[in-house]
Structure 1
Amino acid sequence: MSKINYYTEEGLKKLKAELHEMETVQRPKISAQIGEAIDKGDLSENAEYDAAKEAQGILEMKISKLKTVLSNARLIDESELDTSRALILSNVRIKNLKNNAEVTYTLVAENEADLKQKKISVESPIGKGLLGKSVGDVADVETPSGVIQFEILEITRS
Structure 2
Amino acid sequence: MAEKVILTKEGLNKLEEELSYLKGTKRREVAKRIKQALEFGDISENSEYDDAKNEQAFVEGRIKEIENMLNNAEVINEDEVETTEVNIGTTVTIRDLDTEEEYNYKIVGTTEADPFENKISNDSPVGNALLGHKIGEEVEIDAPAGKIVYKILAIQK
User: TM-score, normalised on structure 1?
Assistant: 0.86
Q: 1:81 Cα deviation (Å)?
A: 2.3
Q: Which residue of the partner structure matches residue 64 of structure 1?
A: 64
Would the alpha carbon gap of residues 156 and 42 (structure 1) be closer, same or farther in structure 2, given more than 3 Å must change?
Answer: closer
The alignment of Structure 1 onto Structure 2 pairs a total of residues equal to 157
Matching residue of 1:125: 125
1:104 to 1:41, Cα distance in 2 relative to 1, 3 A: closer
SS at match of 1:80: coil
Counterparts of 1:23 and 1:47, CA distance in 2: 24
The verdict on how the C-alpha distance between 1:58 and 1:97 changes in structure 2, with shifts beyond 3 A counting, is same
| Coordinate RMSD, CA, aligned | 2.0
- Which residue of structure 2 aligns with residue 137 of structure 1? 137
Structure 2 match to 1:87: 87
Residue type of the partner of 1:72? Answer: N
Q: TM-score, normalised by structure 2?
A: 0.86
Number of the residue aligned with 2:9: 9
The gaps in structure 2 that reach 5 residues or longer are none
| CA deviation map 1:54-93 (0-9, x unaligned) | 2211221111112111212222112332321100121222
Q: Work out the CA distance in 2 between the residues paired with 1:110 and 1:72.
A: 13
Question: What is the percentage of aligned positions where both structures have the same residue?
Answer: 37
Give the Cα separation in 2 of the matches to 1:106 and 1:26.
Answer: 31
Provide closer, same or farther for how the CA distance between residues 42 and 133 of structure 1 changes in structure 2, counting only shifts above 3 A.
same
Deviation at 1:20, TM superposition (A): 0.9
Structure 1 stretches lacking a partner, 5+ long: none
Over 3 Å counting, the alpha-carbon distance change for 1:93 and 1:40 in structure 2 is closer
TM-aligned CA distance change 1:84 to 1:51, over 3 Å: same
Q: Which amino acid aligns with 2:154?
A: E
Q: 1:118 to 1:54 in 2, by over 3 A?
A: closer
Q: Alpha-carbon deviation of 1:43?
A: 2.9
Which range moved further: 36-45 or 64-73? 36-45
Q: Which residue of 2 aligns with 1:47?
A: 47
Q: Which residue of 2 aligns with 1:100?
A: 100
Q: Residues 110-158 of structure 1: CA distance to partner in whole angstroms, max 9, x if unpaired?
A: 233333433222222111110011123221111111111112222222x
